[in-house]
């Protein structure tokens, strides 16, 4: 035993967890930041920007895509990736919800 007991939690909890997990590695945070900075949402210049191999970056891109945080469309013989606003907003409103409940509560208890 020891595998992720992922079922036995709600859909919502799993959905948030999987988005958060995708952002749970500095390389992927860096990739998202890069995609935001580059205005054209260009593709694999990323390989030159990060100290990781092409294979590894491709894996991270896949993780981000699986989580719905980015999407890519074929653009000639390259691929154009960009951040998917919908998913970002979903995470954003979830965190905002937590934050709101906290301030509604008033004092932090401990």
Partner DNA sequence: TCGTAATATCGCAATATTACGATCACCATA
Partner DNA sequence: TATGGTGATCGTAATATTGCGATATTACGA
Angle between helix axes 26-37 and 54-66 (nearest 10 degrees) is 80
Q: How many CB atoms lie within 10 A of CB 94?
A: 15
Which residues form the interface with its own copies (CB under 8 A)? 4-6, 8-10, 13-14, 16-18, 20-30, 32-33, 36, 39-41, 51-52, 71-73, 75, 80-85, 88-89, 91-92, 95-96, 98-99, 101-103, 105, 108-110
Query: Which one, 44 or 71, has the nearer CB to its own copies?
Result: 71
Token pair recorded at residue 80: 């154009």
Query: Which one, 1 or 109, has the nearer CB to DNA?
Result: 1
Q: Interface mask (CB under 7 A) for DNA, residues 47-86, using x and -?
A: x---xxxxxx-xxxxxx--------x-x-xxxx-------
Please, which contacts does 51-58 make with residues 24 or more away whose CB atoms are closer than 8 Å? 52/27, 56/27, 57/27, 57/31
DSSP state of 73: E
Token pair recorded at residue 100: 């709101």
**Number of residues engaging DNA in binding (CB under 7 A):** 31
The listed partner (DNA, its own copies, none) that binds 66, CB under 5 to 8 Å by sort, is: none
């Amino acid at each position: 035993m020891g595998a992720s007991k992922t079922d036995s939690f709600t859909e919502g909890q799993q959905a948030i967890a999987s988005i958060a997990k995708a952002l749970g590695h500095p390389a992927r945070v860096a990739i998202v930041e890069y995609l935001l900075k580059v205005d054209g949402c260009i593709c694999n210049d990323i390989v030159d920007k990060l100290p990781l191999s092409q294979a590894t970056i491709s894996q991270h891109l896949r993780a981000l895509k699986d989580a719905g945080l980015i999407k890519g469309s074929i653009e000639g013989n390259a691929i154009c990736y960009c951040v998917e606003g919908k998913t970002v907003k979903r995470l954003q409103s979830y965190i905002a919800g937590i934050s709101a409940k906290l301030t509604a509560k008033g004092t932090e208890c401990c």
